[in-house]
Amino acid sequence: MENQQERMDLSQIREKLDKAKEGGLWRSIGELAERPEFEEYLHQEFPRQSASLGDFVNRRQFFKLMGASLALAGLTACHRKPQGKIVPFVKAPEDMIPGQAVFYASTIIKNGGFGVGILAETHEGRPTKIEGNELHAASLGSSDAMMQAEILNLYDPDRSQAILKFGRIDTWKVFWEEAFTEAGRQKILKGAGLRILTPNTTSPTFIRQMQAFLKEFPQAKWYQYDPVNRDNLYEGARMAFGSPLMPVYDFAQAQTIVSLDSDFLYEGPAAIHSSRKFSEARRLREGMERMNRLYVAETMPSVTGSIADHRLRAKPSQIASLGVALAQAMGVPVNGASAGELSEAQRKWVEAAAQDLKASGSDGLVTVGDQQPAALHAIACAINAFLQSRVTRYIQPAEFNPGNNLNGIKALARDIQENTVEMLLILGGNPVYNAPADLKFEELIPKVKLTAHLSRYTDETSALCVWHLPESHPFETWGDARAFDGSVSLLQPLIGQLYPDTRSALEVITTLAGVSKLPYDLVKETWAGRNIDKLVHDGVVPNTAFPSVSVSVPESVSVPSGSLPSGSDTEIAFLPDPLIGDGSNANNTWLQEIPKPTTKVCWDNVAYMSLDMAARLGVKLDLTKQSYPLMEVKVGDRTLVVPAFPLPGHADGAITLHLGYGRTRGGQNGSGAGFNAYTLRGSDSMSMASGAELSVTRQMYPVACTEAHHVFDFGTGLKSPTDYIDSSNARPIMKVGSFTDYKKDPHLPDHHHHAMEPMSMYAERNYKTYDNPDNHKYAWAMVIDPQVCTGCNACVAACQAENNISVVGKDQVIRQREMHWIRVDRYYKGPADDPELNFLPVTCMQCEKAPCEVVCPVAATVHSEEGLNQMVYNRCVGTRYCSNNCPYKVRRFNFYKYADYDTPVLKLLRNPNVTVRGRGVMEKCTYCVQRINHARIEAKKENRRIREGEIVTACQQACPAQAIAFGDMNDPNSKVSQWRKQPQHFVMLEELNVTPRTTYLARVRNYHPELAPEEHHAGDH
Amino acid sequence: MQETIKPPMGTDAPLIEGKQNYETITEKIGGIVLKSPPKIWYPLFALGFAGTMVMVFTICWLLLRGIGIWGVNQPVGWGFDIINFVWWIGIGHAGTLISAILLLLRQQWRTSINRFSEAMTIFAVMCAGMFPLLHTGRPWLDYWLFPLPNWLAMWPQFRSPLLWDVFAVSTYFTVSLLFWYTGLIPDFASLRDRAKGKIAQLICGTLSLGWRGSAKHWMRYESAYLLLAGLSTPLVLSVHSVVSLDFATSIVPGWHVTVFPPYFVAGAIYAGFAMVITLAVPFRMIYPQLKDYITNHHMDMMAKVMLATGLIVFYGYMMEAFYSFYSANQFETYMIENRFWGPYSGTYWALMICNGLIPQLLWFPRFRHNLFWLYGVSMVVNVGMWLERFVIISVSLHREYKPSGWGFYAGTQWDWSMFIGTIFFFVMMMFLFARFMPMIAIFEMRDLWHRLYHGKSGHNGHAPAHVPNSAEVTSKEDA
């Protein structure tokens, strides 16, 4: 009728809103959308969704309805979530001091749904920094790079803020109407057409709610899918013991550890715990007689492989052969599989590992990577059982329905194909992007009538679903999660919802079940009978770890034929990206820019391959431009073009592709970065594919790699820099040796390294005034122990979060302008195709005679009485002379205005105690001077000295290997003094006589006598 | 003194050519300023102006975006900016050397090129000065490098060689400018007297500061000029020595070299003379009347100075390499190995060819006397001197102590536009100079003519038995 006249357009709405706004504030478009004015607009714009209005409405009726909806606007609570408010302090509690950080315990959910306990540093109500929770089994107070960067995910400006229907802003009210209508219909069908897909979860509260929900809809199905999952692990345990069990290892006690493609120090729910325990056993102590020995067989150099005593590179399919050979060498019967032909190196590796395992007996263990086939897991279970390994125990898995990821996603695909699905709720996850390519989820999703995707981003899956529902960040909600060992920790909101329209999966499922309860009450209900205040305070629920399950030693392992990979000349290993994981962190700029631990590539994924293979394929690099040739990878009918990247230590005959890149809707940073390896990954090749065809093209692609500059220096006539820490051409940068050498002389003398007697024309500044234990000057110093450093980058991320360090982007990294204050240097030792990796974290050395200070024309970098080399940002004019004169090259320059001054939500992220540096200013590590001063203030208030251990730098706090000591070196009892007194203590570039305050210990490998490299042989016989 | 007046060796060219008398000298040199310029002047000036606009645009973009538009990075914190700074400062040195040291050494051949090369000095220092001022991250705070009284009570940091640079360069510029201007005063007076137009009279009159040519004026002028020459002389040595200390005092392998100060000074004079030749040859073509005053004799002398300083510089290169090997210090050894065979070895060998090999042609009179070859060699030396700074500054930085901190360096389009922009700015300033100021000191030429031929008309007369120095001449005339 006269609808045309009633139609409004957005500008009118805006006008109306402007008037309305005068009365009150609004926070989001979503909230606006619930205003009647907007609904009016929506319903007219999309008449098919506004059945109530219909076509017959005349002006009078319209206003009647309008009036009614205005009146009813307040009555929508039955559909909206119950309002739980976090109220800001009206009256500050007595102990609340503005400017004083407060720490709250919560939990971060890692891949697979496992929780890691955290403490969040909160400044005036906004969380700014994540620390590990010492009470939590999976953290023990440490963290990793992903946990550190989670805070950026919270404040990510690209987070979805509005509920969308077909890509248009809509309201929760409309969604619930549709959902309830459909759910009502499904209720009659007992939920036969209802499917729910979530990532794996361990949350007792969520599982309880889901189960309650499924009781209402008995025929509905709940599938779990993570692209990187533990299916093989559980299946292997089922093969060995009859039920899916989770192995838990005690790396602190283990004497011989054999890892078959398992990156246990870095990947998986127990990585931080494992790293902590492993480093305890590994650290050099004076008079140490015994050291554990780590064997790693893997395709691509991993964090665990880098610290291994004997790293064996092997194609993905060969790992299983090695496992079979190991079992046979141990006398564990394996039926239905043979090791096949092993090379000389492989045979020796297996023999040595078997010999050590037998010698260690119950102190030995074998661990297998999640990506390896189930049969190999079964073999490992058998070996561990055979050893009666007391360092391996088995527990019930913490996940709900463990080990059914692939089955689940396949079943869902089948259900949709068979048209049995009418309503599909995807609560988290991104199956269109990361489901196996052969399932073609992008074609399946649109077949379902009602699809809704709850997600923090409007990602690839959201784009194909009818509804996109914005998800709350875990830091905004209540919840709980289990750690790898089953122990429970709680999630509590660290901040009110940044965007009022976001919901958590728990809230969505409770509302759909018709339960009107706040998440907090649900969590409280789950843990009824316990003191919830204490649980929230500590973050962990005590005594919830699962007890060990006793397992019987299997007589033998039967390997079903075809369950071990056959292999081919060219194989592909699919691994989660070390930093952005399965792709869910793709928009996190910190994680994008932190160099990958072993390859130092950032902002991209590439096809890693051995140097020999690169030579065979004709890969030619242009290192001055950091360009690598694009290569077409073909597996069956699936192809992917990806840069070819030669990597020392990579297995020959295989390439490694990291998942998680090549997002098309991954936010402004995630989209377009890298190449989507999921497109090659089918349900039959979830972790490895064989028979790939590779052809290198002439097209070059720039790859940002922070340490490519010297690795491939072949053909220039210079010695390969891989030799640089070889004793034959030693640069006094790192001290490496063998444990045998160490036992002989713990000083690990290096004949090529001569420290000079310090001499100077000028009077030396005296920092060493230890005459009175109660009244000496502090002399801050740091010692880093590369012996246990795995190069995991937790320190880099922690430093970035603590010190407001800017991200510069791929182009600027290619121009060598990355800003990280601490970097993890990687040095190779040994032959270029299969070298040992050594990591050396480098901070500002805080030289006592700092070369940077004398050359600054404006005195912008000066020395403190306590030995800190201080950087005065507002005095710096930016001549970069200091950086030129720094032998350690630890200074970072703001070539542009790198800091984001404009994005409002990122302002919440900043640490208020650290200056945000502007353009044209030099910056560098300050030993977290803000933390030093905080401790000083606290000490002064109590009229005492700063205690040992009171100052913990950000890198030190994060380090899962506890490889960093910091403190007062004038105090002979401090940890840092103790470490400095160790015989293997080492000063980098000592002969420059700049007397750095950051010093190092040596890195020692415990070689098996038969396998030790040439130079160490002499000492062993 | 005898030998300078003898019919010149090798060149067969006198210091002043053509039939000259006092009148023709003034007429020919002053006429360039007072008459309209040759047609070619306009397009050449326009070209210089257009290039200068490129520079201005680059500077605007630089101030807007930050020095990230350049190629500098971690570890190569100094690239084109400091390379160009050192290059330009070096070029400036020839001017001061010619005008001050050669004056004190009473080298008469300096007379016809000193004004010209002093102008070159001033403009080169202008170009040079832009780089350190703009290369800082926050150029608007550059004044912090000067010891100005301020409410922060903050002095600059006097131990920093960059601060010494500030003093050295600013002193150098000031003294050079005063020296130049002092020398111009009598000539402006001549122009004032000869100018026909009102504006020219007014401007030249103002600039001549009331010069009337009285004996007292001459006496004061002579002592002032001598004093300024004395002041400038140490500057020739000090400025580039101080610049070299930017590198020598650091601990960067390849920078930390004790031979740098004399080696840099020699390099500067080398580069400067190359630039004087580079400018003199085309200017003689544009203004043919200059050929009478900047004769082949001058070209020959400059070529010889180039050859001598070039050999000193080459000795420096050899010493650098020798020290590195002899030090038995692995970082020093690697530094020179990297220069020889590393990724930038091309620049090193190009430098050796440009500065070491090709200038050896100047041993042969055949090449010295052929302007085409001489011009070619001077251009090669200009390039070579730029490469030398590239090798010293950027190639040393790109691989020093820690392999993990190694990197590559290349200039961006903005580096090039800034560098080329300053060259055009320099060209533009030289053309402005040629248009509006006497390119050769008129009165000094007349004085020289007087001394060479002492009242005889024509130039082929016998040399006088005794040539009094200028002070003597003035005092005698005054008396």
Q: How far apart are CA A953 and CA A786, in angstroms?
A: 17
Which of A690, A711, A732 finishes a domain?
A711
- For residue B449, CA distances in Å to A83, B112, B113, B194, B301 come to 103, 11, 15, 20, 19
User: Between these two residues, A742 and A1016, which has the higher pLDDT value?
Assistant: A742
Whether residue A415 sits in one domain with residue A383:
no
Residues of B in contact with A624 (CB under 8 A): 343, 408, 410
**Helix (H) / strand (E) containing A121:** strand A115-123
Query: Looking at the domain assignment, is residue A655 inside a domain?
Result: yes
* Residue A71: band (very low, low, confident or very high) from pLDDT cuts 50, 70, 90: low
Inspect the interface and report whether the beta carbons of A858 and B408 lie closer than 8 Å: no
State the fold for domain B2-143+155-478: Formate dehydrogenase/DMSO reductase fold (1.20.1630)
Residue A191: both structure tokens together = 């939920």
Q: Is A707 at the interface with chain B, CB within 8 A?
A: yes
Structure tokens at B139: 């150029």
Is residue B474 predicted with pLDDT exceeding 70? no
Count: domains in chain A = 5
The whole-angstrom separation of Cα A646 and Cα A708 is 10
User: Dihedral angle at the C-alpha atoms of A356, A357, A361, A366, nearest 10 degrees?
Assistant: 150
Contact A209, A238 (CB under 8 A): no
- CB atoms under 10 Å from CB of B472, counted, come to 11
Task: With CB atoms and an 8 Å threshold, state whether A884 touches B77.
Answer: yes
Query: Where a domain ends, among A78, A103, A119?
Result: A78
Angle at A790 between CA A720 and CA A949, to 5 degrees: 130
Measured distance CA(A350)–CA(A356) in Å, rounded: 10
pLDDT band at residue A34, thresholds of 50, 70 and 90? low
Tell me if B160 and A856 make a contact (CB, 8 A cut-off): yes
The pLDDT assigned to A446 comes to 92
- What are φ and ψ of residue A807, in 5° steps? -100, 140
Task: Please write the tens of the pLDDT for every residue from A900-937.
Answer: 888 889 989 999 999 999 999 999 999 999 999 999 99
| Shared domain check, A951 and A879 | yes
Cα separation values, B247 from A414, B244, B362, Å: 71, 6, 31
Residues A66 and A180 both lie in one domain:
no
DSSP line for B92-154: HHHHHIIIIIHHHTT-GGGHHHHHHHHHHHHHHHHHHHHHHHHHSS-GGGGGGGS----TT-P
A633 lies in a domain? yes
Which residues 207-236 on chain A approach chain B with CB closer than 8 angstroms? none
Q: What phi-psi label fits residue A35: left (phi over 0), alpha (psi between -120 and 50 degrees) or beta?
A: beta
The overall longest dimension of chain A from CA atoms, in Å, is: 102
Residues of chain B found within 8 Å of residue A879, distances taken between Cβ atoms:
135-137, 162
- Secondary structure (DSSP) of A211-264: HHHHHHSTT-EEEE--SS--HHHHHHHHHHHSS--EEEE-TTT-SEEEEES--T
Confidence (pLDDT) at A2: 41
Does residue A97 belong to any structural domain of this protein? no
pLDDT digits (tens, 9 = 90+) for A612-627: 898 889 888 877 778 8
Residues of A in contact with B73 (CB under 8 A): 815-817, 895
Domain assignment present for residue A113? The answer is: no
Q: How far apart are CA A389 and CA A391, in angstroms?
A: 5
Question: pTM of this prediction?
Answer: 0.87
Would you place residue A762 in the very low, low, confident or very high pLDDT band (cuts 50, 70, 90)? low
Same domain, A387 and A423: no
**Shared-domain flag, residues A384 and A417:** no
Give the pLDDT of residue A771. 57
Does A992 reach chain B within 8 Å, measured CB to CB?
yes
pLDDT for res A354 = 94
Q: What is the mean pLDDT of chain A?
A: 85
Interface contact B74-A888, CB threshold 8 A: no
Contact A815, A970 (CB under 8 A): no
Which parts of A536-586 are beta strand (E)? Answer: 540-541, 548-549, 557-558, 571-576
How far apart are the CA of A876 and the nearest CA of chain B, in angstroms? 8
Radius of gyration of chain B (CA): 23
Q: Taking 50 as the threshold, does the pLDDT of residue A256 lie above it?
A: yes
Both A957 and A875 in one domain: the answer is yes
The CATH number of whichever domain residue A822 belongs to comes to 3.30.70.20
pLDDT at B128 > cutoff 70: yes
Q: A-chain residues within 8 Å CB-CB of B159?
A: 854-855
Asked whether the predicted pLDDT for residue B3 surpasses 50, the reply is: no
A993 touches chain B (CB under 8 A): no
Assign residue A355 the CATH number of its domain. 3.40.228.10
pLDDT at A567: 78
Min Cα separation B467/chain A (Å): 50
- Which residue is closest to B249 within chain A, CA to CA? A855
| Each residue's pLDDT tens digit, A779-792 | 999 999 999 999 99
**Most B CBs within 10 Å, among A733, A756, A886, to test the B interface:** A886
What is the distance in angstroms between the Cα of B417 and the nearest Cα belonging to chain A? 18
- End-to-end CA separation in angstroms for chain A: 100
Tens digits of per-residue pLDDT, B15-26? 777 677 777 778
Best of B62, B64, B74 to substitute, by most chain A Cβ atoms within 10 angstroms, is B74
Radius of gyration (Cα) for chain A, nearest Å? 30
Q: Are residues A168 and A62 in the same domain?
A: no
Question: CA dist A497 to A103, A476, A522, Å?
Answer: 18, 5, 18
Note the pLDDT tens digit of each residue in A810-824: 999 999 999 999 999
Same domain, A192 and A244: no
Task: Please give the pLDDT value at position B100.
Answer: 83
- Consecutive H or E run containing A836: strand A836-842
pLDDT at A389: 86
> One-letter amino acid identity for A582?
D
What pLDDT, on the 0 to 100 scale, is given for residue A714?
Answer: 39
Inter-chain contact A919–B250, Cβ cutoff 8 Å? no
* Residue A837, amino acid: L
Question: Residues A988, A996: contact at Cβ < 8 Å?
Answer: yes
Do A688 and A800 lie in a common domain?
Answer: no
Judged by average pLDDT, the poorest of A17-31, A638-652, B95-109 is A17-31
Which of the pair, A880 or A18, is modelled with greater confidence?
A: A880
A785 and A910 in a common domain: yes
Domain with A16, as residue range(s), is 3-78
**Chain B residues closer than 8 Å to A818 by CB:** 74
The shortest C-alpha distance from A246 to chain B (Å) reads 40
Tokens 């010293």 found at: B392
Q: Angle of helix B470-478 relative to helix B442-453, nearest 10 degrees?
A: 90
Return residues 568-587 of A near B (CB < 8 Å): none
Residue A721 covered by a domain: no
Measured between beta carbons, the chain B residues lying within 8 angstroms of A994 are: 251
Do the Cβ atoms of B140 and B443 come closer than 8 Å?
Answer: no
A812 in B contact zone (CB under 8 Å):
yes
The shortest CB-CB distance from B401 to any of A878, A879, A989 is to A989
Give the DSSP H/E element, type plus range, for residue A203.
none
Q: Which of A823, A847, A895 to mutate to test the interface with B (most CBs of B within 10 A)?
A: A895
Question: Quick one: what percent of chain B has pLDDT higher than 90?
Answer: 48
* Segment A310-348, tens digit of pLDDT: 999 999 999 999 999 999 998 888 888 787 888 999 999
A238 and A371: one domain? yes
Q: What mean pLDDT, rounded, does chain B reach? A: 85
List, edge to edge, every strand of the sheet that includes A780-784. Answer: A964-968, A780-784, A998-1000
Q: Alpha-carbon distance A1006 to B1, whole Å?
A: 82
Mean local confidence (pLDDT), B45-55: 95
Selecting from A885, A891, A921 the residue whose C-beta is nearest the C-beta of B250 gives A885
Partners of residue A731 in chain B, C-beta under 8 Å: 330-331, 401-403
CA A563 to chain centre: 31
- My answer on whether A212 and A299 are in the same domain is no
pLDDT at A492 over 80: yes
Q: pLDDT tens digits, residue range A197-222?
A: 999 999 999 999 999 999 989 999 99
**Tokens found for residue A152:** 């950026």
Q: Say whether pLDDT at A66 is over 70.
A: no
Residue of B nearest to A994 (CA): B251
β-sheet bridge partners, residue A871: A861
Residue A252 burial (10 A CB sphere; 0-12, 13-18, 19+): middle
For B409-465, the pLDDT digits (tens) are: 999 999 999 999 999 999 999 999 998 888 888 888 888 877 777 655 444 444 433
pLDDT-wise least confident of A80-89, A266-275, A307-316, B216-225: A80-89
What pLDDT, on a 0 to 100 scale, did the predictor assign at position A1018? Answer: 42
In this model, does residue B467 exceed pLDDT 70? no
**pLDDT value at B141 more than 90:** yes
Q: Which of A395, A427, A450 is the last residue of a domain?
A: A395
Residues 879-908 of A with CB under 8 A from B: 879-881, 883-885, 887-889, 891-897
